[in-house]
Amino acid sequence: MQMGAKLEVSIGICAYNEAKNIGYLLQSVVEQITRDIFISEIIVVSDGSFDATNSIVEMAVKEQKGIKLIALGKRSGKYAAINAFLRAARSEVLALVSADLILDPYAIEHLCRPFLTDPGLGMTGARPLPKNSKDIFFGYLAHLLWDLHHQLALVQPKFGELVAFKKIDRDIPETLVDEEELAALVKSKDYSLLYVPASIVYNKGPMLVRDFLRQRRRIFAGHMMLKKRYGYSVATVNSARIMKCLFKKELRIYIRQTHWLMAAMFLEAIGRFLGWWDACFHKTDYLWPIAESTKELHAS
C-alpha cells in the first residue's frame, strides 16, 4: 500500500470459516501495486467463524498496519457482515472482496481508478478468472460460466466476487446476491455502473455437483428476488441472451465439447429450477451452506 495516493479506498472482506484462504487473500491485498489509489484500511468482518479464520486475521493485524478485524459473535449472514463493514469504513469509495479469492497485483488500481475521472460513476466490477483446470468437466464448467459472465458484462455490467462502489448511507436488506444488491441500490441513485475487465481476481469453481447446485440455486433465487424488489434485471437471468452469447467467436471452443456442454446446461437448468422454487415459495436461507470445494484456491 502506497502513501500519497489520490483516491482513498476502504477494502472489506466478509468471511465465514475461510481459514484455508484468508491468509493468502490478505497477502494479495497488502501487496497491491497502486499509483492513483491509496488503500486506507482493510476491514475483515468475520461472520461467526469458528475455525482458524480469526486467529489468522489477528496475526495479520499485528504484522501489517491498516488491517482490522470485526468479529461478529454469531453467524448472521453475509448481508449483515457487509452492513458491519459499511458502518465501519471511513473512505467514500469502498471495495468489497469475497474471502475465497486471490487478487491480481493491479486489481484494486484498475477497479478504482475510473472513480477519479467520472463523477457520475457509482460502482465498478472486476473480472473473475477460475483457477480450475479446463481438462476436467468441472473446470470446463467454471471457465464456461465466467467467460459467459465476461461477455455479458461487456454489454451490461454484471457484478460478482470483487466490486468497488461509492459509500451508501443505508444498510442493505437480506439478500442472496450481495454484489448485485449493491448494484441495484447504486443504480437507484442514478449513478452509472461499469465493468472493468482489466481488474482481475482469481477464484475456484465448484468441484462437486452438490456445491455447484448450491451456488447456482442461491444465485438464481437471489436474482429473482432482486427483480421483484427493485425491478432490476441481472444480465444472466435472460436465457436467450446467454444462448446468443454462447455462439460468439470467443466462446465457440465450449460448443465443440458437446457432451460437456449438454451436461453443463442440464445442471444449470436444475439449479435455476431450484432457485425459482425457493424464490416463489419463500424457501430462502440467508445462512447458505458453504461450497467447500471452492476453497483452497492456492492449491489449484
**Confidence check: pLDDT of 287 > 90:** no
Length of the chain: 300
Pairing label, strands 192-203, 102-103: antiparallel
Q: Is the pLDDT of residue 232 over 60?
A: yes
Could you tell me what percent of the chain has a pLDDT over 90?
78
Provide the 3-class DSSP secondary structure of residue 29.
helix
pLDDT value of position 163: 98
Helix, coil or strand: residue 217: helix
What is the per-residue pLDDT across 126-174, written as a single tens digit (0 to 9) for each? 999 999 999 999 999 999 999 999 999 999 999 989 999 999 888 999 9
* Average pLDDT of the segment spanning 81-92: 96
pLDDT for residue 298: 65
Domains of the chain, with CATH numbers? 7-284 (3.90.550.10)
Task: Answer whether residue 3 shows pLDDT above 50.
Answer: no
Instruction: Supply the pLDDT for residue 299.
Output: 55
Q: Is the confidence at residue 2, as pLDDT, over 50? A: no
97, β-bridge pairs? 13, 162
Lowest model confidence (mean pLDDT) among 16-20, 56-60, 122-126, 289-293 = 289-293
Mean pLDDT (the chain) is: 92
Asked whether 197 and 161 are in contact (CB, 8 A), the reply is no
Q: What is the pTM (predicted TM-score) of this model?
A: 0.92
Q: Where are the alpha helices (DSSP H) in the chain?
A: 22-30, 53-63, 78-88, 107-112, 137-155, 178-188, 209-230, 239-246, 252-256, 258-280
**Lookup result for grid cell 468482518:** 45
Q: What angle do CA 116, 117, 120 make, to 5 degrees?
A: 95
- Residue 233: pLDDT band (50, 70, 90) is confident
- How far is it, in rounded angstroms, from Cα 26 to Cα 34? 16
